[in-house]
Structure 1
Amino acid sequence: MRVAARERTADSGEEVRGWRAPRSSAWSLPEVRWALIAAVLFAMGGLVQLVGAPPWLYWTLCLACYAAGGWEPGWAGLKALRGKTLDVDLLMAAAAIGAAAIGQVFDGALLIVIFATSGALEAVATKRTADSVRGLLDLAPATATRITDDGEEEVVDTSVLDVGNVFMIRPGERIGGDGLVVDGASEVDQATITGEPLPVDKATGDEVFAGTVNGTGTLRVRVTRPAADTVIARIVAMVAEASASKATMQLFIEKIEQRYSVGMVIATVALFVLPLVFGADLQSTLLRAMTFMIVASPCALVLSTMPPLLSAIANAGRHGVLVKSAVVLERLSTVTHVALDKTGTVTEGSPRLMQIRRVPDVAVDDTELLALAAAVENPSEHPLARAIVAAAGAAGLPLRPVEDFASAPGRGVRGRVGDTFVEVGNPTLLAEDRGVAHDLVDELEQVGYTAVVVRRNGAVAGVLGLTDRVREAAADMVAALTALTGTRPILLTGDNSRAAAALAAQLGIADVRAELLPQDKVAAVRELETVGAKVMLVGDGVNDAPAMAAATVGVAMGRTGSDLALDTADAVITRDDLSAIPAVLALARRARRLVIANLAIAATFITVLVAWDLLGHLPLPLGVAGHEGSTVLVGLNGLRLLRDAAWPSER
């Protein structure tokens, strides 16, 4: 089964490099279908035994369960054996067959169902990784308008854009390549790359990135990187690389499986062969060897881990946290450091008007200033304009008609409201106005606000301060994470350093790393991991996906998260409830403690039963009862986490 999973990873890598493989649902995976069939047959077998159906029907259903769920691990085990590797897959298939040989076909079917389910989870995890990388296709446009040497326009595939080519981006289009603006001015939404909540003004000499969205102006851009080396392409490579590095972490587990499998086979063969050499009876020797195979099988050990983890996953799901696998929950329990994205994670992800600062001695009050700004901004589609209009609506101000409206990309908008000529834009409007207005802009920017200047009849009337508002539960979340992990969270953001520092001060975060590109976030995560930290990264954007993949655990915000972030993340906060982040960490740690307790119980039962079988005479019914009893005990112990009281925030 694990060999097959490794082969699927290699195949999926070819699909990702091809970029055009269609997505398919998890149900299309054969491993998932066979595991479901095996589970249904197992349940039917147990039911017909309870109702007293003919033995042949019970055996038929159980053997059908063997065939449905056991062929893949058996085949994988045989292929591994052919490669001179003995793993648990083959051992479990042998244990199941041995159980059937001595009449305990139900025990064998249970092992088959467990291993088939494990294989299905591996297949689904592999598929999600491939799909998340393929999801980047939607970000970069397939074509671009290239300007030829003769000044003509031609539509070409973005993959053929080369360094030095010049291409045009019209308003509203996605940018097809990384480069420098050589002509034009506009605002560009870079949230997919840098995570900045507000569009960034671009003019000649400024850098733009493939996959970002142009605003209201037209730009001409000279390509500075080939298509294979754009920021988007590097994100693809980083996600794939980080996902592959996680898979290599399983090598240690495979070594343990190998040793356990070899030891079990040697012990079983010795227990069968040695007594025969000394003249023991064949039937009793075979019975003892099969009893050993049953009581030493790791069924109880497997169930020691899964019920607590799956119960915790189900509990988390009821409280708005989707944990994608039991492996993820195990990783959550080891987290020592938490890194937080800013925009859309600890903030709401959309700008709001927070301050209205009038210039002294101007004959206009705050209400009139906002009404004038909203009237002129109403025809604009800029996010800041929408925030100003929304603030006016919330204040109950009517939107007055505007005449002679005009938009200057990278500068602002202007128009006539009644007899008043109004201009609204960025601080470049202050070029000719020194003094108080500059001080107002500086004050607002110092505390992390975006300053919007309002001019009335040519004179500055006031400055509006807009910002992305902090979520209400953010400060409590930071405090809870600090108490839980013993370290303060780290803020990783592509936003400007002033805005990041202002927000961090509100939340009590000391370590702030701002103006980061996706590769910079990955570097920050790996820097922490090199000193032994287990990092959980919480984010919502495409720019967070590589760092999510590189981190021990990646967590995405469900409502504001991009498709790629949701696919790449190991867990999703579906309701965007920040209090759920420390709660799920605490739940994962409790699940880990239960797993350790269950492993101790299961190991004790196995040790006692194996010693009894080796040193004395363990009756088969008693061995099966002990084996199944330990399985039931650890299963029930793990199910305790299903209770709502187990969710930390409700205790």
Structure 2
Amino acid sequence: MTAGIDTRIPSRPARLRRSSAWSLPEVRWAALATGLFGLGALAALAGGPSWLSWALYLACYAAGGWEPGLAGLKALRDKVLDVDLLMVAAAIGAAGIGQVFDGALLIVIFATSGALEAVATKRTEDSVRGLLDVAPETAVRLDESGVEEVVAAAVLDVGDILMIRPGERIGGDGIVIDGASEVDQAHITGEPLPADKKPGEEVFAGTVNGTGTLRVRVHRPAADTVIARMAALVAEASASKAKTQLFIEKVEQRYSVGMVAATVALLVIPLLLGDDLRSALLRAMTFMIVASPCALVLSTMPPLLASIANAGRHGVLVKSAVVLEKLATVTHVAFDKTGTLTHGAPRLTRVDSLNDGFSDDELLSLAAAAENPSEHPLGRAIVAAARQNGLTVRPAIEFVATPGQGVRARVGADVVEVGAADATVGELGDTPVVVRVNGVPAGVLTLTDHPRAEAVGAVARLRAITGTEPMLLTGDNPRAATRLADDTGIVDVRAGLLPEDKLTAVRDHQDSGARVMLVGDGINDAPAMAAAHVAVAMGRSGSDLALETADAVITRDDLSALPALLALARRARRVVAANLVIAAMFIVVLVTWDLVGHLPLPLGVAGHEGSTILVGLNGLRLLRSRAWSRT
């Protein structure tokens, strides 16, 4: 009795519009069955001919039971016993012994329960995937001569130049090359205010341009835009099943077979002992209804999918229900430093030549030339500082970058290396890098980075939720790491780590029984993220490898989402547990009542289907915004 989610994702962001509940066939058939049942009851109360009420009740059977009955028969053909088929069989059995009113009531409540489940599933799906509706279908592309042409956004490729006029949606992910404007990117990053965009700034497909005109060079193909990657993550999340759900489905088949066997025994044994057919069949039908595991099946996935939807609305993409279960069990949190706890945009503050061979400007120019091909934040800061000072950034060849160590390149006749400095160099909280020219230290560049404004509060809330001290795992020098740790309230600091050192730190912690959530953004974080119990990547600053490795992505790089995410996952686990208890309690009470006493069929129907509706609605509470903010 579970409604599936369509997880097919088109090759480009599709137009997925929210539909009303009446568009769902389950809702329409349930409404028709309810109307026919009401007319049948009115005909019986009015003293009309018995054939009229019977005809209306049987029409109710057809309207509310044909779809689950057909699905059950198809499942039976594949040697799968579906609980939907059992419910329809119970209703037909009730009609066979003259209890057509009770059977029709079962069909109505069963169809209504299925309709509510379909609405819940659709609402969750719409909530998660609603961002796809913002993607434009066309874009204005400029050819080599500057002539405009309207093309499908799906055909845009890297290097295409787009013209974005005021009020238009941006057709692809790219870099602004001309113009200035404000862009509303709330659908992508969650930022409430428009972001200023100027040459060199990144813009995203589906965001809305403000009052200025922009020219944008596409730097990702249409299938790889941020919004398309979100769609892929949504597909993975919707298609996955939690371990609890998989266990329930594994047990469900055996349980259903056992339930049918018990129903047959409950019918045959009383008949052999001299009971009449009507009472034996009525008790057996009642037993089959109340023992069906519909509520158990519906206990798990609605809360988890609702939580995934809620997190998605608040800028966190959780890749699967399994990930959400893992988040609920996190005991320790580990952070990367640059780009995670800090903005990842350090600024050059000092240039110190170590000898008379190079002036400060010459040293900075050489370092910028070597770092120009690099994507590391420190390298970008060095290049930016050189250009701001009006220095020439010469081309470099033979460029090599070693994660955790630095870069090496040939600039003219010189081999220039820019890498980590000794921990004793520089001031507390600074990040010094040594520039070596032809193997000889030539100077030290000092850079600083600043912690994110929300870092202090996020660290404190995570400490309160997990009951353990967050860790800082960084390749930066101990002085810079200690300064950041003091600023953010972190006690456990591990600095100067290479990628393999971060991996070892995570594994050692987990070997002692910890379940570590690692939060990072860079290529050098990926090995440790893969080994962690659960990994979270910073969506805006994160490398492609980190985004691919991570189990969840914070699309707007807001660290305050982390404690809210853990709290939501833990609440979802509590709701699942409560649902399982409620469902099992209803089954035990109703089955016991039917076996040792006399449970009226209408009451059994109401109890069974009522429990199914109850656990479904309980899970949907996690869609509310309040569920995200509670910690």
With structure 2 as the length reference, what TM-score do the two structures score?
A: 0.58
For residues 396-429 of structure 1, give each alpha carbon's deviation from its aligned partner in whole angstroms, at most 9, with x where no partner exists.
x562568x987786667879xxxxxxx9955799
Aligned to 1:227: none
2:86 to 87, 92, 95: 95
Check the 8 A contact 1:406/1:413 in 2, yes or no: yes
Are the structure 2 counterparts of residues 571 and 304 from structure 1 closer, same or farther at C-alpha, using a change threshold of 3 Å?
same
Which of 573, 577, 583 pairs up with 1:602?
583
Do 2:302 and 2:619's aligned partners in 1 also have CA atoms closer than 8 Å? yes
Partner in structure 1 of residue 341 of structure 2: 346
1:304/1:595 contact within 8 Å kept: yes
* Equivalent-residue separation in structure 2 for 1:119 and 1:349 (angstroms): 39
What is the distance in 2 between the residues matched to 1:521 and 1:114? 47
Matched, 1:43 2:27: yes
Q: Write the letter of the residue equivalent to 2:598.
A: H
Query: Per-residue displacement from partner, 1:535-577 (whole Å, max 9, x unpaired)?
Result: 3233345665565555443323222334454455432222221
Confirm or deny: 8 A CA contact 2:429 2:448 kept in the other structure: no
**Structure 2 residue aligned with 1:138:** none
State whether structure 2 residue 583 is matched by structure 1 residue 571: no
Secondary structure in 1 matching 2:558: coil
Q: 1:599 to 1:253 in 2, by over 3 A?
A: closer
The one-letter code sitting in structure 1 at the alignment partner of 2:314 is H
Question: Is the contact made by 2:318 and 2:553 (CA closer than 8 Å) also made in structure 1?
Answer: yes
Segments of structure 2 that go 5 or more residues without pairing to the other structure are: 12-18, 38-55, 94-102, 123-240, 400-406
Query: For residue 302 of structure 1, what is the aligned residue in structure 2?
Result: 297
Task: Assess if the C-alpha contact under 8 Å between 1:339 and 1:537 holds in 2.
Answer: yes
- The 5 Å alignment of 1:149-228 reads none
Partner of 2:628: 647
8 Å Cα contact 1:70/1:112 also seen in 2: no
Identify if the C-alpha distance between structure 1 residues 405 and 529 changes in structure 2 by more than 3 Å, giving closer, same or farther: closer
The unaligned stretches of length 5 or more in structure 1 are 3-23, 29-35, 79-88, 121-245, 416-422, 430-437
1:581 deviates by: 0.7
Equivalent position SS for 2:81: helix
Aligned residue among 332, 341, 344 for 1:337: 332
Other-structure match for 2:269: 274
Tell me the CA shift for residue 503 of structure 1: 4.9
1:293 aligns with 2:288: yes
Question: Partner of 1:595: helix, strand, or coil?
Answer: helix
Instruction: Give the counterpart letter for 2:516 in structure 1.
Output: V
Structure 2 residue 440 is the aligned partner of structure 1 residue 449? no
Distance 2:269 2:303 in 1: 40
Give 1:356 shift.
1.0
2:390 to 399, 402, 405: 399
Equivalent residue number for residue 534 of structure 1:
515
1:281–1:349 CA distance, 2 compared to 1 (3 A): farther
Please, which of 378, 387, 390 is the counterpart of residue 384 of structure 2? 390
Matches within 5 A, 1:372-521: 373=364, 377=368, 381-383=372-374, 386-391=380-385, 399=390, 426=417, 442-444=424-426, 447=429, 449-453=431-435, 463-466=444-447, 469-492=450-473, 503-504=484-485, 506-507=487-488, 508-510=490-492, 512=494, 515-517=497-499
RMSD of aligned residue pairs (Cα, Å): 5.1
**Could you tell me how far apart the structure 1 residues matched to 2:609 and 2:532 are?**
39
What CA distance in whole angstroms lies between the structure 2 residues aligned with 1:301 and 1:310? Answer: 16
Please say if residues 68 and 85 of structure 2, whose CA atoms lie closer than 8 Å, have aligned partners that are also in contact. Answer: no
Residues 529 and 101 of structure 1, relative CA distance in 2, 3 Å threshold = farther
Instruction: Identify the match of residue 350 of structure 2 among 338, 349, 356.
Output: 356
Work out whether residues 309 and 591 of structure 1, in 8 Å CA contact, stay in contact via their aligned partners in 2.
yes
Evaluate the alpha carbon distance shift between residue 249 and residue 361 of structure 1 in structure 2; reply closer, same or farther with a 3 A threshold.
same
2: CA distance, partners of 1:546 / 1:386? 24
How far apart in 2 are the matches of 1:641 and 1:119? 13
Which of these residues, 573, 596, 600, is aligned with residue 619 of structure 1? 600
**CA positional deviation for 1:377:** 3.8
Deviations 1:25-83 (A, max 9, x none): 4579xxxxxxx9xx94322311333555977776556555337754675456x2xxxxx
- How far apart are the structure 2 equivalents of 1:538 and 1:413? 35
The answer to whether the aligner puts 1:583 opposite 2:567 as a matched pair is: no
Do the aligned residues in 2 keep the contact of 1:300 with 1:602 (CA within 8 Å)?
yes
SS at match of 1:554: strand
What displacement does 1:609 show?
1.7
Whether contact under 8 Å (1:558, 1:574) holds in the other structure is yes
Distance 1:313 1:413, change over 3 A: same
* Count of aligned pairs between the two proteins: 458
Change beyond 3 A, Cα 1:506–1:398: closer
Post-superposition shift, 1:582? 0.9
CA change 1:247–1:379 in 2 (3 A) is: closer
SS at match of 1:560: coil
Q: Percent identity?
A: 54
In structure 2, what is the Cα distance between the partners aligned to 1:381 and 1:553?
A: 34
Cα pair 1:339 1:490 within 8 Å, conserved: yes
Question: Which range is displaced more, 476-485 or 464-473?
Answer: 464-473
* 1:317 Cα deviation after fit: 2.0
Measure, in 1, the Cα distance between the counterparts of 2:316 and 2:382: 34
2:312 corresponds to which of 314, 317, 338: 317
Q: Indicate conservation of the 8 Å contact 1:488/1:509, yes or no.
A: yes
Structure 1 residues 450 and 631 mapped into 2: Cα distance closer, same or farther (>3 Å)?
A: same
- Secondary structure at 1:634 match in 2: helix
Name the counterpart of 2:618.
Answer: 637
